[in-house]
Amino acid sequence: MEFRPGDALLVVDMQNDFCPGGALGVPEGDRIIPELNELMARAARLNIPIFVTRDWHPQNHVSFRDRGGIWPVHCVRETRGAAFHPDLKVPAGAAVISKATHPDKESYSAFGDTDLAERLRALKVRRLWVGGLALDYCVKESALDGQKLGFEIHVLRNLARAVNVKPGDDRLAVVEMSRAGVVIEP
């Protein structure tokens, strides 16, 4: 892939709780960190805007099992689990987007209840490259929402991993994104 003017990079939810050993660890989620680091460094050198998302849940978030959700408690703001993985090298100047911050509203998308779309438009971004965790939830929903909002979305399949609650969820996510017009990069 080659960055060009009008591009931005979106790195989704590379947090301790989503990596192996975390409360909601994605299998091999940490294995994509070195390549994401290289990609962020290249984007920074080229002055390509970089956005890094994080689940930033309140303690009583609706997605948690004790509130009727499907997930264990994870990524509670200001905890070690919510912190970015220590090997992730977020460049200075990268924008952090906190999502799923309202206790009574589930939101997987980087565009849900955030100002990401406005920030991208202010920077005249037309094409968004997306990688991170989890392919079948937050990456997928961010890609679909970005596409609906008029951005050209490219998901970096080799730089995303799926939680696969049900076996094959990763394949279904790729099919759904492709049908919506999202470009799936190998």
DSSP 56: -
| pLDDT tops 90 at residue 1 | no
Confidence tier at 103 by pLDDT (50, 70, 90): very high
Summarised one tens digit per residue, pLDDT across range 52-87 is 999 999 999 999 999 999 999 999 999 999 999 999
Q: Which of 19, 30, 99, 136 is catalytic?
A: 99
Please check whether residue 116 is in contact with residue 9, taking contact to mean a CB–CB distance below 8 angstroms. no
Q: Return the pLDDT at 47.
A: 98
pTM of full prediction above 0.95:
yes
Please confirm, yes or no, whether 99 is among the known catalytic residues. yes
Please confirm, yes or no, whether 19 is among the known catalytic residues. no
Report domain extents, the chain: 7-185
Confidence tier at 135 by pLDDT (50, 70, 90): very high
Q: Which of 19, 138, 140, 170 is catalytic?
A: 138
Q: Return the pLDDT at 32.
A: 98
Q: Which of 7, 13, 30, 145 is catalytic?
A: 13
39-131-112 Cα angle (round to 5) = 130
Task: Using alpha carbons, select from 130, 37, 22 the residue that is nearest to residue 83.
Answer: 22
Please confirm, yes or no, whether 13 is among the known catalytic residues. yes
Give the containing element (helix H, strand E) for 7: strand 7-12
Q: Partners of 96 in the beta sheet?
A: 52
Per the prediction, the chain carries an average pLDDT of 98
CB atoms within 10 A of CB 67: 13
Give the pLDDT mean for 168-179.
Answer: 98
Please check whether residue 117 is in contact with residue 144, taking contact to mean a CB–CB distance below 8 angstroms. no
CATH superfamily, with its number, for domain 7-185: Isochorismatase-like (3.40.50.850)
Summarised one tens digit per residue, pLDDT across range 5-15 is 999 999 999 99
